[in-house]
Structure 1
Amino acid sequence: MEAFINFSAQTKGRDKLFRTVQYGSIFLRAVLGSTNTDVVGKMKKLESQVSMTRKLMRFGNSLNSVDAARRASKLQDELLRVLLTASHTNRSIFLLFDHLVWLGRAGVLQTDVDKWNWISLRFWFLSTVLSLLRDLYGIQKALQIKHKHLSYPNGIGTIDNQLHLEAKVRQESMKRILVENLPLCIDTSKNVCDMVVQMTRLKLIDVSDGWVGFCGVVASILGILVIADPTLKLTPS
């Protein structure tokens, strides 16, 4: 199992590149609109083909997520342990159903592709929500540490002015935390972008294809940066 996980992990960079192409074609298709039907048609075919290729490349990756959940279950921080274990577990289930979708579309299995695709999207969404909660927890902990070293202005003007000044200090400290902690900033941004894509596909929000493509491209590029420079990877995650 370990050898398989190590082999499967090598495809992550290629998957992110293909994902950039996939969502880039969606974005370009939305930008062109009906001005160039020939190019729009080609972009639609490209998006469909790349999507199928990515599903094939992810085949078996559910085991990676199971292993990640196992490692997360050993974390000492209780909240991190719960959030990350649940996130990886949901991702493993998403990938398992994603495999069924690929097998169905490839004609290997007779299955209700639309149903399994809808179910897989729900588990992907849940995994991302839990991952984003982990990011927010990391931001909260960083804020607590930062606030210990901050001195709030006092005795200046009214209570409203005091509250306004304190809120401004908190806002500035939040900006500093995100700038100083790039891995946390990148992971949070990536999860927010992924959630826009997922919520649109699940019809929880109504967002144009242009925004879906844009968010998908941003999330993909951020993923590529993390793979290219492991120091940008949020740990534990």
Structure 2
Amino acid sequence: MDSWVRFNAQSQAKERVLRAAQYACMLLGYTLSKSKAASELHRTISDLEAHMSLTRKLLRLGNSVEALQAAKRTIHLSDSVLRLCLTISHLNRAMYFACDNVLWAGKTGLVSKLDQRKWSQRSFRYYLFALILNLTRDMYELCLLLDSEARHRSAKSAPPPVSDGSTLPADHLCSPAVAPPLAWLRRRLRQVLTVLHGNPPLLLDLLKNGCDIFIPLDRLGIYPTSPGFVGTCGLLSSVLSILTIVQPWLKLKP
């Protein structure tokens, strides 16, 4: 099984490039349809997008095994929140890839009379659950970093010791009045941006999952958008995924 996982990992970069090209075709096709371009060119772009989608499904054959292996690793994490989010996310990804494999078999004619719409909806539901858990993990890690930053700031601004070795009470210091909500929100946003700027892997993962989640929301009809918006989100998340493959240190661990 380990050898299969290593072999399967070699096709991930190709699948990411094809994914970027597929969503670029979706965005281009939407742009052509809005500009009333030649229908023949629009049809060619749509066919190319469909072929790329089918090729990606072929490259994802066996990805369920990799997702199950990842779940076996994360189930031993010491942090209970990360253990829960990551393990269940990997299990949902395994089910998503399994449904995707069935869809590939149906589209290629290996399985006749397959209800492709039902299996597509089922796969996107698993995909959506996995992304929600991934975003929950990202927000949890962001909260941990913000708490750590707050403790570091409070330690630096601790009351100075007085002559007898004790410390001045907090209310002895000249502290400003309670900040209005807008000022507090502005300060909090600045802290979030500072923490994310200092942690590129978390920032990239948050952006990637934030872009990806609109894809199943649109396909499931929960939050319908447009092919142009879905294509833009898919293209951005694919570029970010390629970046983490090219620069492994940018991939969020575990």
Q: Above 0.5 in TM-score?
A: yes
What CA deviation, in whole Å up to 9, does each residue of 1:55-93 have, x standing for no partner?
000001100000000001010000000000000000000
Tell me the equivalent position of 2:11.
Answer: 11
Q: Which amino acid aligns with 1:138?
A: E
Tell me the equivalent position of 1:78.
Answer: 80
Give 1:208 deviation, angstroms. 1.3
Partner of 1:150, secondary structure, is: helix
Larger Rg: 2
CA RMSD of aligned residues (A): 1.5
Partner of 1:66, secondary structure, is: helix
1:87 aligns with 2:78: no
Q: Which amino acid aligns with 1:155?
A: S
Partner of 2:213, secondary structure, is: helix
2:115 to 87, 112, 117: 112
Structure 2 length-normalised TM: 0.88
What is the rounded CA distance, in whole Å, between the counterparts of 1:155 and 1:9 in structure 2?
55
Q: 1:140 to 1:40 in 2, by over 3 A?
A: same
What is the rounded CA distance, in whole Å, between the counterparts of 2:23 and 2:182 in structure 1?
41
What is the rounded CA distance, in whole Å, between the counterparts of 1:99 and 1:232 in structure 2?
29
Give 1:164 deviation, angstroms. 4.2
Structure 1 length-normalised TM: 0.95
Partner of 2:206, secondary structure, is: helix
1:26 aligns with 2:26: yes
Q: Which runs of 5+ in 1 are unaligned?
A: none
Tell me the equivalent position of 1:192.
Answer: 210
What is the rounded CA distance, in whole Å, between the counterparts of 2:210 and 2:186 in structure 1?
24
Count how many residue pairs are aligned between Structure 1 and Structure 2.
234
Q: Which is further off, 226-235 or 168-177?
A: 168-177
Q: Which amino acid aligns with 1:89?
A: L
Tell me the equivalent position of 1:227.
Answer: 245
Q: Which amino acid aligns with 1:133?
A: T
Give 1:154 deviation, angstroms. 6.6
Pairwise mapping of residues 38-117 of structure 1 onto structure 2 (< 5 A)? 38-110=40-112, 111-117=114-120
Q: Which runs of 5+ in 2 are unaligned?
A: 158-172
